[in-house]
Amino acid sequence: TDYLNALPRSAVAAETDPARRLEALRRLRRERLGEAMAGGFFAEEEALAELTVRRMAIAADPALDAARKREALAALDREAGY
């Protein structure tokens, strides 16, 4: 309950950058729930969110052409076990 009550008033609620929002959410969960409980409840969700944030960064990288983006995304998928 403490975690749920803190969520709307936290930095998470106002953050618009996905990577910073995920980090703020991780921090809040560990502050309110502790490492073991936060990891137990949210490890899989956070891993998927991290993968999504990394995929978004690759897709938005103006320095990469379409072929390099495909390569980077494929490498990321391999790293994640997909």
**Buried b / exposed e across 9-28, counting CB within 10 Å, b at 16+?**
ebebeeeeeeeebbbbbbeb
Assessment of whether the complete model's pTM goes beyond 0.85: no
Which pLDDT does position 67 carry in this prediction?
A: 98
Contact in structure between 7 and 26 (CB atoms under 8 Å) = no
Confidence of residue 9 (pLDDT cuts 50, 70, 90): confident
Tens digits of residue pLDDT in 47-69: 999 999 999 999 999 999 999 99
Long-range (24+ apart) CB contacts under 8 A made by 59-67 are none
